A and B are shown apart, each in its own frame.
Chain A
């Protein structure tokens, strides 16, 4: 798909959403079913398989890769819900494309048999192509000192999508806001956050595969990271192409280069830096994804829960490898020069995409370093 995705990348940006034809090709290729339970029509592969696909898609289009990672990854998320909820959401065709905001800005109140949900939620990547939405909401009006909150799945028809995704990069993810007003959510489509935090989701007892016992924080740290690696690899490839078709500049020629950029020492250095950083990021990511899967194969049958420090370490390692991807793209842009900053050039798009991606809270080193350190020292202090 890489050539077609490259050719569509600019149109995808301009449309500020995943293109319908790309969504259809992902459906036809089974990409949304990679980590979906077999019982509900999925393939039940590991997160490592999802990441390999996302990396390749990202070599073509960073926005499409990000959106695929979110939507494809969230068929795993759906599998954590109560069984009756999964029966309903996966339906009769197992076709689930779920856009989410899991940070919990909404509010809900109890009704007989379920909840009434309201709120405004930002950054729902892929919401234009989704057939389900999932958002977080706090229970109010019951006088709790520390009110419980829930992840709730609703139909897109029960929400209004706002056209407010006008951003530096990752424009094609269409990560728009949605507004929900008094939607009824039956109990079966509400997943208590406390169970997620305790690694005791209903879903881990529905599906025997250890994949579904994976803690949310560890899974989400890795889920979209393939998009960053794909963007970095895309930039390296675009730069490599310049090596053999962009002529040397006057001052480079005066310094002894001739013909094309490949003969300029600083260009070769930037290319080597970019390539080795992007490839190192790829290796680290696939290793992290496999390590997580292997850990769960060990922990899940024994009923062992993952410690906060272990989870935080996945976050820290992913923030580190996204940083490598940012550096790779910076090298590519520096070597690409001003002619690669024109609208529609893959290098300028990769630059905007990777920088926007790097602002996501799960990749911000400031936050991930702090979260890891707090977990580490809390555990060390434990008697």
Chain B
């Protein structure tokens, strides 16, 4: 593979005189090549996983590995140094990374996915965000709850706190949603920004059950100036009428936000499920069976000789693999729908978007069950701190509490959309 560091992009100009960043691999890279790179990283990610948890952030060496492999550029516009591949390519990579370390996979999903989000912004904003190296790594609190903004000359003044900013330690930008105060004191309007990481700071408050290595800490911004070009109104996001969707011809950038972010990180859960099933498979060959009536302790037999064990392994493996098949198929379907709707000049319907989220919640649920089966078969020795199965249990249940991906919210949102309520 060509080593393509942050500085590896070539700067040029197109016929219209616009600046173009070209990654050296942009013309040749394939989803299959990225998948192979991800697969090759699994052993080292497994070895680093306990350290990643303990550090409560994506490890700097993993950031560097992902950068070298081009993973952050998968969904980034070619014009700004990206590969402009689809969600299917991103999820295939996340699944492999998640087989090694779920936290690293989730953080990659967020950071790589949000290069797509940066591409929704006004063109001058994108030029600034992608800069001269095409490195735009940003976690996002897209929606309005976290901040307050007011209009000032040339832009906005923003203050706020955004919890759960996965990957913020590795970020050079932050995404920050806010309510924009109106001059006449009327109903504030939802607006969302991209802020320089240097204009905010991170509060180290991520001490949690699982997904510790995502470092999903709180980002704080105090009275930062944000220029007009790095702001989008939420009503334009909700209408899938973002400025960026008109900048890039690829239908990828016309996919509605909720559809995109529903799929974005799911590969981490599927990878986690596969990881647990694989760890259990290994345990079947190595863990002795205890004597049935005490006294003898261990026997020469291994867990694989127990029908109950084999059943759990089969359940775990088939649940995880079903989740993988569904996710890859669904990611392709979302890409197809993006092309179809763009060609037909229509938007995704509310029900279509809700159904995408619902299916992701189902995939997460299957992943949770795969890990539960593995945990049930593995026994107390797999609950020792640092055992991959206990980590997978914490990680996958943690992911299932995510508000976008929980079946509760997804089912309700879909039901309301389905009946037009």
Contact = CB atoms under 8 A, between A and B. Distances in A.
A112 to B, nearest CB: 24
Contacts of A355: 375, 383, 393
A359 B382 contact: yes
Given A337-B401, A341-B210, A351-B209, A361 B290 contact: yes
Contacts of B306: 366
A4 interface: no
Nearest to B190: A250
Contacts of B308: 366-367, 369-370
Given A123-B380, A265-B412, A266-B411, A168 B294 contact: no
A166 B385 contact: yes
Grouping DSSP codes into helix (H, G, I), strand (E, B) and loop, the B interface class, with mixed when no group exceeds half, is: helix
Nearest to B258: A251
Nearest to B398: A341
A337 B403 contact: yes
A359 B145 CA distance: 41
A366 B376 contact: yes
B413 A255 contact: yes
B379 A359 contact: yes
Contacts of A352: 209, 394
B380 A359 contact: yes
A147 B398 CA distance: 48
B201 interface: no
A348 B209 CA distance: 6
A199 interface: no
A103 B290 contact: yes
A369 B96 CA distance: 36
Interface string A309-351: 0000000000000000000001001111110111100001001
With most chain A CB atoms within 10 A of its CB, the pick from B209, B306, B377, B394 is B209
Contacts of A367: 308
A330 B406 CA distance: 13
Contacts of A359: 375-376, 378-380, 382-383
A118 B415 CA distance: 64
Interface residues of B, number: 46
A342 B398 CA distance: 10
Contacts of A338: 164, 208, 398, 401-403
Contact of B383 (A138, A169, A348): A169
Contacts of A358: 376
B123 to A, nearest CB: 29
Contacts, number: 121
Contacts of B295: 104, 136, 138, 147, 149, 193
Interface string B66-97: 00000000000000000000000000000000
B81 to A, nearest CB: 33
A197 interface: yes
Interface in B401-417: 401-403, 406, 408-409, 411-413, 416
B179 to A, nearest CB: 11
A123 to B, nearest CB: 7
A362 B308 CA distance: 15
Contacts of B297: 103-105
Interface in A83-119: 102-105
Given A343-B207, A351-B397, A251 B413 contact: yes
A370 B377 CA distance: 14
Given A251-B413, A355-B375, A359-B375, A335 B394 contact: no
Interface of B: 143-145, 164, 207-210, 290, 293-297, 306-309, 311-312, 375-380, 382-385, 390, 393-394, 397-398, 400-403, 406, 408-409, 411-413, 416
Given A266-B412, A342-B209, 19 more contacts: A102-B294, A103-B290, A138-B295, A167-B385, A169-B383, A193-B294, A250-B143, A255-B413, A255-B416, A330-B397, A338-B398, A338-B402, A341-B398, A343-B207, A348-B209, A355-B375, A359-B376, A364-B376, A366-B309
15 contacts: A104-B297, A167-B384, A250-B143, A251-B413, A266-B408, A267-B408, A333-B397, A334-B406, A337-B406, A338-B403, A348-B209, A359-B380, A364-B379, A366-B308, A366-B309
Interface of A: 102-105, 123, 136, 138, 147, 149, 166-169, 193, 197, 249-252, 255, 264-267, 270, 330, 333-338, 340-343, 348, 351-352, 355-356, 358-361, 364-367, 369-370
